Amino acid sequence: MNRINELFANEGNKRILSIYYTAGYPTLNSTLAIAETLEKSGADFLEIGFPYSDPVADGPVIQHSSEVALRNGMTLQVLFDQLAGLRRHISIPVLLMGYVNPVLQYGVERFCESCKAVGVDGVIVPDLPMYEYEERYQEVFEANGVSNIFLVTPQTSEERIRKIDGLSTGFIYLLSSSATTGKNLAVSEDTAAYFSRIRNLNLKNPVVVGFGISSRDAFMRATDYAAGAIVGSAFVRLLSESNYEKKIPAFIHQLKEIADGY
């Protein structure tokens, strides 16, 4: 098992917290230091975004972070160079998240090999079509031990969800809504029914909720239905503040305070 599977297989791990942030933001060389601080503060796994100039699924906070990161000079090659020392400092699972265009430009096989070389456990590429992954790239992902994480939305059919479950080797990323990132999660009757529907499918892979998880209350509500939840925009917003390094432990503690006593 890789680090992702081990994390979710540990029955002592309840209400798993993932943090997303953009590589190269707020400064070009802040990526690894942020990762270290997040692990020490109690994050369970990390999603490091590689910036792209047309981030269609991202809200304004993450869009802005991508724009700054690109201006700072962040590229996939720079990111992999920075992550060369990742596993000397970080023991929790680390995933990369971004759009398919930079991956294609870098080369899919080279991308997977680079992930393996630096110790990246999985990737989330929302606009990589499932059929294209299955027909062209699945073998190279699996050969390098890289989990490809698929997304499920409220509109995803049961047939497609079960197909995704069969192809997945890490977890399934459950979008709380079809909105862009940065919206606040409101667990309405419809949202609760959607979360319950997914839970009742008894999928073989764990489910992690993303989009709209910006507070402890939202984190707790999401993890009533799922194994974990992802906080993105709220954390990226913190990185725009002065002395953000000193604020990270309190940010994580606030999210996990109740969860740690669950």
Residues catalogued as catalytic: 47, 58
CA angle 103, 145, 229 (to 5 degrees): 75
Distance CA 241, CA 160 (A): 41
Contact between 235 and 20 under an 8 Å Cβ cutoff? The reply is yes
Alpha carbon distances (Å) from 261 to 18, 52, 236, 253: 18, 39, 26, 12
User: CA nearest 84: which of 37, 145, 31, 41?
Assistant: 31
Distance CA 245, CA 247 (A): 5
Give the full edge-to-edge strand order of the sheet including 228-231: 147-149, 122-124, 94-97, 45-49, 16-22, 228-231, 207-210, 172-175, 151-152
Contact between 43 and 15 under an 8 Å Cβ cutoff? The reply is no
